[in-house]
Amino acid sequence: MTMNDIYIHAKNLVYAYREEDGLKMPVLHGISLDIKRGEYVAVLGHNGSGKSTFAKLLNMILEPESGELVVAGRDLCSPELTEDDLFALRREVGMVFQNPDNQLVATIVEEDVAFGPENLGVPPAEIRKRVDEALETVGMTAYARHEPHRLSGGQKQRIAIAGVLAMRPSCVILDEATAMLDPVGRREVIETVERLNREAGMTVITITHYMNEAARADRVVVIDDGRILMDGTPREVFSQPEKLMAAGLDVPQCTALVHALSEEGISLKGTPITTEECADLICRALEEKKNGNRNA
Partner 1 sequence: MKLILSILYIVCTFLCKNVLSFALLLLSAVLLLLISRIPPRIVLRSLRALLFVMLFTAVLNLLFTKGETELFAFWRIHVYVEGVYSAVFMLVRIMVLILSTSLFLTYTTTPIALTDAIESLLSPLRVVHLPVHEFAMMMTIALRFIPTLMEETDKIMNAQKARGVDFSSGGLIKRAKALIPILIPLFISAFRRADELAMAMECRCYRGGKGRTKMRVSHLHASDFVALLMMVLFGAAVLYLNRLGLFYTL
Which residues lie near partner 1 (CB under 8 A)? 59, 61, 83, 87, 90-91, 94-95, 97, 99, 101-108, 110-111, 114-124, 127-128, 131, 147-149, 163-164, 167
Query: Minimal distance in Å, beta carbon 33 to partner 1?
Result: 21
Residue 121 vs 265, nearer CB to partner 1: 121
- Between residues 120 and 285, which has the closer beta carbon with respect to partner 1? 120
Smallest distance, Å, CB 83 to partner 1? 8
What are the angstrom distances between the C-alpha of 205 and each of 145, 162, 218, 220, 271? 30, 16, 10, 10, 23
Contact 74, 81 (CB under 8 A): yes
Comparing CB distances to partner 1, the nearer of 145 and 294 is 145
Indicate the residue among 163 and 185 with the shorter CB distance to partner 1.
Answer: 163
From the CB of 197, what's the least distance to partner 1, in Å? 20
Instruction: Rank residues 3 and 125 by Cβ distance to partner 1 and give the closer one.
Output: 125
Contact 39, 203 (CB under 8 A): yes
Q: Tell me phi and psi for residue 34, to 5 degrees.
A: -120, 130
- Which of 115/261 has CB closer to partner 1? 115
List residues bridging with 204 in a β-sheet.
Answer: 40, 172
| Minimum CB–partner distance for residue 57 and partner 1 (Å) | 13
* 3-class SS letters over 190-227: HHHHHHHHHHHCCEEEEEECCHHHHCCCCEEEEEECCE
Q: Comparing C-alpha atoms, which of 83, 61, 71 is closest to residue 36?
A: 71
Distances (CA, A) of 71 to 93, 183, 205, 273: 9, 32, 13, 30
Q: Which is nearer to partner 1, 66 or 119 (CB)?
A: 119
The secondary element (H helix, E strand) that includes residue 293 is: helix 275-295
223 closest CA partner among 237, 235, 203: 237
Instruction: In angstroms, give the least distance from the CB of 115 to partner 1.
Output: 6
Residue by residue, DSSP assigns 242-257 as HHHHHTT----HHHHH
Q: How far is the CB of 55 from partner 1 (least distance, A)?
A: 11
Instruction: State the nearest-atom distance from the C-beta of 266 to partner 1, in Å.
Output: 47
